[in-house]
Chains A and B, each alone.
Chain A
Amino acid sequence: MQGEPDPKASEQIAYMSGRRVSYTLDSTLETVNSAEETASRIAAEAGFGDEDITRIAMAVREAAVNAVLHGNAYDPGKKVTLAFERTAVDLVITIRDQGGGLDMSKIPDPLAPENLLKTSGRGIFIIRSFMDEVEIHPSQAGTEIKLTKHVHGSNLDGKEASQ
């Protein structure tokens, strides 16, 4: 049979076999929404509960916002790379941009009283709150953020216990 493979089916096969699935995306608002939706779907397939799915999808959304807006600054010549990898114990999500590299020293503490009423600066904090491990690697070639959620977290354990 000829014809284009169903991209969703291909992703599913790659994912199920434990391989890495990656996407190269434009620096647009659509990418932010698409990253969130894809993260939500893959987290559900990995067996996470509803609350964890929401948190993972939101963390990915915030990382994608950083990549598109602050990293690539909507530059059509720059791409965002989004990758998902399922290990035996973790779901690992990597988001990379091609910007100038995030200056970690300029990220304020959004919980400090003087920053509470600021209208921005909460993205990284939300990501750290919702994921188990967060690594941020800024370089002159861009910023890579690696998000890890343990598959056998408390929600999943609870789900298994109730079965």
Chain B
Amino acid sequence: MTMKTSTRQVNGVTVVDLSGRITLGEGSVVLRDTVRDLLSKGNKKILLNLGEVNYIDSSGIGELVSAFTTVRNQGGDLKLLNLTKKVHDLLQITKLYTVFDVKDDEAKAVKSFS
């Protein structure tokens, strides 16, 4: 299954709704291109909604880390919203759960950027 993304603006924060798999190949490339595109347009407050992402492999994890550091290096912030159990577990065993700012309430997550 390919990954799909759509973006929306909520109080100055760009919420990216992702669905599908973030894996080596198309899924990782779509995520990378989406974040690059947002940054090039000056959108530096990014909330990735992973509620419909049920699978990430090590390449996808690498892509999330890359997106996180790229946004931070440009003075912005990237947070994660609505992790599925599989993604949550994977971020826990790789110790990335504490690196990312993970939220489960969109309104509170948006507020936390300001």
Contacts and interface: CB of A to CB of B under 8 A. Distances in A.
A125 to B, nearest CB: 7
Interface of A: 29, 32, 54, 58, 61-62, 65, 69, 110-111, 116-120, 122-123, 125-126, 129
B69 A117 contact: yes
Interface of B: 23-25, 57-59, 61-63, 65-66, 68-69, 86, 90, 93-96, 99
10 contacts: A32-B24, A65-B57, A110-B95, A111-B95, A118-B62, A119-B62, A120-B62, A122-B58, A122-B61, A122-B94
Contact of B58 (A29, A65, A116, A117): A65
Contacts of B99: 116-117
A111 B59 CA distance: 16
Given A54-B86, A120-B58, A65 B94 contact: no
Contacts of A116: 95-96, 99
A120 B66 CA distance: 10
B57 A62 contact: yes
Contact of A126 (B23, B25, B58, B65): B58
A97 to B, nearest CB: 16
Nearest to A69: B24
A129 B79 CA distance: 26
A118 B64 CA distance: 10
Contact of B65 (A61, A117, A125): A117
Question: 6 shortest A-B CB distances, which residue pairs?
Answer: A119-B62, A122-B58, A123-B58, A119-B66, A111-B95, A29-B25
A126 B59 CA distance: 11
Given A32-B24, A126-B58, A119 B63 contact: yes
Contact of A129 (B57, B66, B86, B93): B93
A136 to B, nearest CB: 16
